[in-house]
Structure formats: structure tokens, C-alpha cells
Amino acid sequence: MSSINLFTLITLLPLLVLASSDSKPRWRDPAAPPLGLKKRAGNNTATPLNFESVGDTGVSAQMVFLGNNKKIYVLDKTENNPVEITGQYGTHPAWATEYDIESNEYRTMDVFSNTFCAGGGVLGNGTWVVFGGNQPVTTGGVASTDAEAYSDTDGGTAIRMLNPCTDESCEYIQGETSYSTSADNTGGWLQMTGRRWYPMVEALPDGSLIIIGGDKNGGYVNTQAQDNPTYEFFPPRADDPQDLQFLADTLPINLYALTWLMPSGKLFMQANRKTILYDYNQKTTTNLPDMPYAARVYPASAATAMLPLIPDNGYAATVLFCGGSATEQWGNDGTAGYNVTAVAADNTCVRITPEGSAKYEDDDYMFEGRSMGQFVILPDGTFWMGNGVGMGTAGYGDDGYSVGQSYGQAPIYMPAIYNSSAPLGSRWNRTGLVASANERMYHSVAILLPDGSLFIAGSNPNKDFTTAQWRSRTDSERWYPWYYNEERPIYEGFQDTFSYGGNSFNITMNSTDEATAQNTKMVVIRGGFNTHAIGFGQRYLQLNSSYEIDMNTGKTTHIVSQMPGGSTGPNLFQPGPAMFFVVVNGVPSQGEFVMVGSGKVETQATQTNQDLPSSTVIAVVQPENTTQTNSNGGSSSGSGSGSSGALSTSQINHVTLGATIIASLLAISTLL
């Protein structure tokens, strides 16, 4: 402060005080429509921390993905859903719909083959792909080559693609049943190389997908005879399929083998109690420690998610597992073989940073044991946990111990919130939360919507559609996070494509509050393909950023990096569509769809990220004089003349406005 003279301080002080009197963050224009609320579903009865029943999904929601800011795509297995469709193979019950977020109405869609426990993901060009399923079935879910009852074709090797639309014109692109798989895969490009029921799907850095494992014809668990211990790619690659020993070593519980692409480009995989890092380029496996306490993979079905990828820790990738089942009895492909509904679900949580310490560490345990709990990553970086059961596992059968047909019972109606950045011991919270009125058991779903609320649907632990316990649900709910009715941030500078590295871009808000600027983050979220308590591809990445607060204009400019570039960028967050949120003090803007990467399935161009300037506050200058914003690091200095009484620029780095005022007052009192 010594270089600033008394006259300067006296000149500046009133202006500083004037600016500070408007301490409320001004990032929201009061005249603007309440962003985030305009797309509220139902009857505008949104109550934070509560559920609201909304529309009918038409078919029971076993799988869902958000295609764009209007439409959710719902898939079920082939069964006697209450709505019918007249499609390519006649009139039959539907097992696919498109659900409108605003009107809460559905449109039936024609899917030919049985999507029973398929996997899916989104390509780098925005096309969604759904892989595998099961044989055609007749009434009661009984396998049948005579598929007369439901007019379904064999989904075992099927590939269906969808380019989501907002005008209800899009349909799945599907192979014909007449396609046969030939050695070179020609003529059958919408078929996989083998049958895959419960395949895992993960996106790769070029925007293609890897399809891993599965078994041939369904059952409670996998068996050696049923196993398809291979992986393949989509678009297909010349040497598909490849063997993967892990898929033999982890029998019998390795369906939907849990898989995440790691920063190095290797795949982190967890099934049965084994854990590996797999390099699909070199075809090499690195063993990691065994999973403690419980099985997490289906049918134990823990809640799993990658923690938010944040610049603060250099984008270290950590994966969280919560719940599942500690039982050691897995029956066979026909049945659990004992009263599995009597087994309490596991309540432990562990996390691992596979390319860091590579050890499972205890995390805070859940409030209760839960199988089929579902993590949904919210824009504020916390996780919603909901759905699932307290006893038993996923799966069903006509066994004496089934409840109805369900292998799970004691549905858990209460959600909870997990905060990965809170100190150990305080990560779980359910203060103020209320229970849902509806059970969401096996074959239920939950995803994030653009307004920051959740969509929750499904539950159907049955062979065929039934109204008996536990009934096949076609209703859906919204769940409203704490921030739902808060004023939402508005900003200028939205961009709808992100490159891996390159030049930063600017997000500007009407605010001069530094605490607010410090507590603002720009995040990119991919909700992914949701089924069986797994968010296939669900990821959250916070973009690197700094800010410049200009007291003269009343604006905060956030200088925001593109996606991380360099060699790891596309591994951290694979190319393809995602949602962009500006989150201020935990309150997200409306999520807007963006394209990450080139919009093509190809090796992504990456650059280094432009350096960000240090965060800066530019103090007020006399309005009649010109503003000069020196780059950061310049010493705050005035004209130095002192006599003219005009200080052209005063730049204050990393000093809050309040501190500035106090310092100014101190300087004045000292000088006086």
C-alpha cells in the first residue's frame, strides 16, 4: 500500500464503498426468466429434497439415456408392456419409448430385437448404440424361437443405433434378422461377433466403444459354458473379438464387468473380487488388490461411480464402490440356489485411485446396506444415492424364496447424498431428505436432467410384465436437489464445442464478489447410459479456470480452459455429447448440451492448454479516465505523481474487496 498516496485513497474509497454496498452477487438478471425452473416437470410442485411423481414411461424403464435437452430414451426388455406398437414385425407390446421432459408424455419406438439386459453408450459423433440382449421370448419371459407372442427377434448379437432428435422423427437404426455374422463381419455390421447378454460398454479416447464380456443366454450369474470371455469394438476392428482372461478368471460373477477408462488410456476393471488394469492396445494385464468386504458387480450390484475429475488434484481418477453383497453363494445360471432374499445387503464404501496409490481405502459407510443403489452425479459435484434394496440381490426367479419373483426385498425408499470432497466422517448426509413413495428395485434407473433435477423410473424384478408384487412400474419421478429453486446463474460466453487443449474461452457474469468468483466452477457432465445401477460412461469433469473481476464494469470474467489436452485429455473425458453447467456456490445454471472433441469417431487432435492468467481483481478507476488492465503480477501502482490526484490504475491481486477497504482505512489512519 505504501506506493499509493493519501489522495489516491481518498479518491478511491468512496468508489470502493459504493461498489461493495451491492454485495449480493449479481450473476442473475432479475428480469430474466427463472432459468432452470422453466423446464420444470409436472405441476410446478417442485420441492427441494423431495420426489414428485411425473409421467408414464409407457414401458418399464430398465435402461435410459438422455438424448438431448428434451428427450429421454427408455428401453425395456421384451415383455407384455401395457402399450403396443405396430412396427416392422407387426403389432406387439412395445419395449422402447421416447419420453419428453417437458410434457411428460411418451412416444413408442420400434425396436425389433430383445434388449433384455443390453449395454450401451454414446459414440464420439453423438450416435447412441445399444448392444446385445437375449433370445426372443414368449409369455412369461420364456425363451422361444417361435416369437409370435411378442414379435421380437434375437437380441444376443444385436446392435441398434439412435441419433436422438427433438422433433419425434428419429427411430433406431437396426440390422435385419436375416443378417448373419460372417468372419469378416461384412453384411452383418449391425451384429456383434458373438452373443452378449449383460455386456459392459465403455467409451474410448477416439470416440469408439469397447464392448466387453457378457454371457450367451441369460441366467442369474455367468458360467463357463455360457461365458463370452472376449471383447470387441464398435465400429468393428479387424481383429475382433479378442480374448480377455479376466472374464474367465472372475466367473461366476462378471456380468457387466465394471470398467472405466483411466487417464493413462488403460481400462480399470472390477468383477468378482478381482481388480485389474487392462491395456487393450498392448493386451497386457496388471493385477491390482482384491475388492474388500463385498462383491460389487452384478448381481451384488453396488452403487459405483468415478469421483469428479478436478484440476485441484491434477485430474486423478478415483472410483467409488458402495454396497453390494457380501454373500459367497452365487448359485448358477438358473437360480441363486438358496434364500438369497435373507442376506442383508452390504453397507461398506471403498474408493481406489487405480493409477495413484492403487489401494482400496475405506470411505464413509452408507446409512444402511444397499444392493442396486444408484449414484447420480449432480452438477455441484455431490452424488445422489437412491433406489435399491436392503436385502438380497439383483435378479429374479420362480423360486420358493423369491419375494414375488424378486431376489431382492426390503426396498429402500430414502435417498442420501454423498459428498466426496467433505472430510472423512461427514461425507454422507440425508438432512431434510424425504422418502419416495415408490419402490425402485431391480431394473430401475435414475439420471440427471439439464435443469439439475433427476429422473427416476422403472423397477421390475419380474420375468414378464405384472401388476403383482413387486409390480412392473411404468411411472416416473423427478427428484429435486437442494438448489432446485435457487436463483440460477446466468452467464455470457457459452460455447457448444470443446477441444482437447488450445485456447481458453471466457464466461462472463454480472458480479464483483470475489468469494463468489472463487466458488464458481465450470463443469462438463456426461450422464451416460443407465441400467442395473450402473451409469455406463457417467463422468464429471471440472474445467480449469481463473477469473478477472473488474470493478469498473461490474463483471467477473472466468477464463476457462478447454477440456484437458495433451496426451491424457481424451482418456479423462471421452469425446461425444455432454452437458455444460456453470455452478455458482453449488447452484448450477441450466445444463446445455455441448460436443466434446471433433464430433467424429477418430483419433482426437489434442494441444496443450493455454496458460491461464492468475486470478485478478481490477479496482475502480475514475470513470472519466481510461482503464488500463495490466497483466497479473504487475505491482499495483498509480501514476506516482501524487500531485495530480489522479490514479489511473490500481490493480489488486488475490485481495478481496473487503480486505482492500480495510487496508485502505488502515493506510488512511496511519497517514493521518
Ligand X SMILES: *[C@@H]1O[C@H](CO)[C@@H](O)[C@H](O)[C@H]1NC(C)=O
Binding site for Cu ion (CB under 5 A): 117
Count, residues near ligand X per rule CB under 6 A = 50
Cell of 188: 452383418
Q: In angstroms, rounded to a whole number, what is the distance separating the alpha carbons of residues 537 and 335?
A: 30
For residue 138, the minimal CB distance to ligand X (Å) is 28
Among 627, 648, 653, 656, binds ligand X (CB under 6 A): 648
**Which residues is 456 bridged to in the sheet?**
446, 477
Residues 87-106 that bind ligand X (CB under 6 A): 104
Stretch of residues binding ligand X (CB under 6 A), selected from 119-127, 176-184, 284-292, 347-355: 119-127
For residue 396, the minimal CB distance to Cu ion (Å) is 9
Cell of 387: 433406489
Q: Does residue 426 bind ligand X (CB under 6 A)?
A: yes
Among 372, 548, 574, 580, binds ligand X (CB under 6 A): 548
> Could you say which of Cu ion, ligand X, none residue 244 binds, taking C-beta under 5 to 8 angstroms by partner kind?
none
* Residues 6+ positions from 67 with CB-CB distance below 8 Å: 73, 98, 128, 162, 164, 165
Among 506, 607, 637, 653, binds ligand X (CB under 6 A): 506
For residue 511, the minimal CB distance to ligand X (Å) is 8
Q: In angstroms, rounded to a whole number, what is the distance separating the alpha carbons of residues 291 and 272?
A: 8
For residue 224, the minimal CB distance to ligand X (Å) is 29
Stretch of residues binding ligand X (CB under 6 A), selected from 90-98, 247-255, 274-282, 556-564: 556-564
The number of helices, as runs of H, and strands, as runs of E, in the chain is 5, 49
> Could you say which of ligand X, Cu ion, none residue 277 binds, taking C-beta under 5 to 8 angstroms by partner kind?
none
Judged by beta carbon, residue 285 or residue 614, the one nearer ligand X is 614
> Could you say which of ligand X, Cu ion, none residue 482 binds, taking C-beta under 5 to 8 angstroms by partner kind?
ligand X
For residue 51, the minimal CB distance to ligand X (Å) is 12
> Could you say which of Cu ion, ligand X, none residue 117 binds, taking C-beta under 5 to 8 angstroms by partner kind?
Cu ion
User: With contact defined as beta carbons under 8 Å apart, do 410 and 461 qualify?
Assistant: no
Residue nearest to Cu ion (CB): 117
User: With contact defined as beta carbons under 8 Å apart, do 264 and 206 qualify?
Assistant: no
**Which residues is 417 bridged to in the sheet?**
384, 429
Residue nearest to ligand X (CB): 648
Judged by beta carbon, residue 287 or residue 630, the one nearer ligand X is 630
Task: Residue 283: count other Cβ atoms within 10 Å of its Cβ.
Answer: 12
Q: In angstroms, rounded to a whole number, what is the distance separating the alpha carbons of residues 406 and 395?
A: 7
Q: Does residue 228 bind ligand X (CB under 6 A)?
A: no
Q: In angstroms, rounded to a whole number, what is the distance separating the alpha carbons of residues 165 and 485?
A: 28
Cell of 606: 489434442
User: How many CA within 13 A on the CB side of residue 134?
Assistant: 19
* Residues 6+ positions from 364 with CB-CB distance below 8 Å: 349, 418, 424, 425, 426, 427, 428
Q: In angstroms, rounded to a whole number, what is the distance separating the alpha carbons of residues 81 and 94?
A: 6
**Which residues is 285 bridged to in the sheet?**
278
Q: Does residue 490 bind ligand X (CB under 6 A)?
A: yes
Among 6, 10, 342, 671, binds ligand X (CB under 6 A): 342
Q: In angstroms, rounded to a whole number, what is the distance separating the alpha carbons of residues 589 and 603?
A: 32
Judged by beta carbon, residue 168 or residue 312, the one nearer ligand X is 312
Cell of 13: 474509497
For residue 299, the minimal CB distance to Cu ion (Å) is 9
Q: Does residue 314 bind ligand X (CB under 6 A)?
A: yes
Among 6, 17, 18, 42, binds ligand X (CB under 6 A): 42
Cell of 312: 485441484
Q: Which of 522, 521, 505, 499 is nearest to 569 (CA)?
A: 499
For residue 245, the minimal CB distance to ligand X (Å) is 29
Q: Does residue 123 bind ligand X (CB under 6 A)?
A: yes
Q: In angstroms, rounded to a whole number, what is the distance separating the alpha carbons of residues 217 and 145?
A: 13
**Taking the CA atoms of the chain, what radius of gyration do you get in angstroms?**
27
Q: Does residue 624 bind ligand X (CB under 6 A)?
A: yes
Q: Does residue 401 bind ligand X (CB under 6 A)?
A: yes
Phi, psi of 18 (to 5 degrees): -60, -45
CA dihedral over 651, 655, 660, 663, signed as positive or negative: negative
> Could you say which of Cu ion, ligand X, none residue 245 binds, taking C-beta under 5 to 8 angstroms by partner kind?
none
> Could you say which of ligand X, Cu ion, none residue 89 binds, taking C-beta under 5 to 8 angstroms by partner kind?
none
Q: In angstroms, rounded to a whole number, what is the distance separating the alpha carbons of residues 268 and 507?
A: 35
Stretch of residues binding ligand X (CB under 6 A), selected from 92-100, 420-428, 443-451, 467-475: 420-428
For residue 260, the minimal CB distance to ligand X (Å) is 19
Judged by beta carbon, residue 292 or residue 554, the one nearer ligand X is 554
Stretch of residues binding ligand X (CB under 6 A), selected from 80-88, 123-131, 279-287, 523-531: 123-131
> Could you say which of ligand X, Cu ion, none residue 314 binds, taking C-beta under 5 to 8 angstroms by partner kind?
ligand X
For 284, counting Cβ atoms within 10 Å of its Cβ (0-12 exposed, 13-18 middle, 19+ buried), the class is: exposed
Cell of 498: 470443446
Q: Does residue 422 bind ligand X (CB under 6 A)?
A: yes
**6-21 vs 657-671: helix crossing angle, rounded to 10:** 150
Judged by beta carbon, residue 230 or residue 557, the one nearer ligand X is 557
Name the residues that contact ligand X, by CB under 6 A: 29, 42-43, 54-55, 104, 123, 125-127, 163, 235, 311, 314-315, 339, 341-342, 380, 382, 400-401, 419, 421-422, 426, 429, 431-432, 482, 490-492, 506, 509-510, 544, 548, 557, 559, 564, 586, 601, 611-612, 624-625, 639, 646, 648
